Amino acid sequence: MLQSVVKGTFPYTANMVIPASARVDEPQTAISTGNSFDQDFTKDGNNASRISEVRIISAKLQSNDPADYNIGNIASLRVYMAKNDGSDEVLVAIRKDIAANSGNSITLDIDNSHFLDALVRQPGVRIRMVYRLRKAVDTDVSLKVSLGVGSNPAN
């Protein structure tokens, strides 16, 4: 029982890059591999049969480089999770109305209407961020997407 409590929540993180060449007010896409501190949920892993009903429970976007980048320069964004090859993609987080003075970290609105069991059992997941810039960037910007994933113990 302790195992399921400890493994009940875990984060996936991905580093996204907004290139200096990104255009303002046009849909742009950044893609990265999502990493979890616990990659032991693959079918061959010890814990695959112990979790079920995996859903997104939190989502955050934070500036990495430059650390003081104002995320308010992004007008809106959507974050998707998929298998490494891009298949079975699902929307996991969205933010439509990012305030112009948001600072270097924001919480995203989650979409927990999908179970992610099959995705977290993959050896790797792909995180895709679709965004619209409000203001151009002078240099490449690195952002960290943190997705909190929660599960229930399997019966």
Q: Is 145 inside any structural domain?
A: yes
Give the pLDDT of residue 21.
Answer: 96
**Tally of domains in the chain:** 1
Q: Is 1 inside any structural domain?
A: no
Q: Indicate the burial class of 11 (C-beta count within 10 angstroms; 0-12, 13-18, 19 or more).
A: middle
The boundaries of the domain holding residue 108 are: 9-45+53-150
Give the pLDDT of residue 147.
Answer: 92
Mind listing the pLDDT tens digit for each residue in 69-116? 999 999 999 999 999 999 999 999 999 999 999 999 999 999 988 877
Whose CA is closest to 125, among 91, 92, 85? 85
CATH of the domain at 67: 2.60.120
Give the pLDDT of residue 49.
Answer: 56
Mind listing the pLDDT tens digit for each residue in 45-64? 545 555 667 888 899 999 99
Q: Is 22 inside any structural domain?
A: yes
Q: How confident is the model at residue 155 (pLDDT cuts 50, 70, 90)?
A: low
Q: Is 155 inside any structural domain?
A: no
Q: Is 144 inside any structural domain?
A: yes
Q: Is 2 inside any structural domain?
A: no
Least confident of 29-43, 111-125, 136-150: 29-43
Give the pLDDT of residue 47.
Answer: 54
Distance between CA atoms of residues 4 and 125, nearest Å: 22
Q: Is 25 inside any structural domain?
A: yes
Count of Cβ atoms closer than 10 Å to residue 3 Cβ:
12
| Predicted TM-score (pTM) of this structure | 0.85
Q: Is 91 inside any structural domain?
A: yes
Least confident of 37-41, 108-112, 139-143, 146-150: 37-41
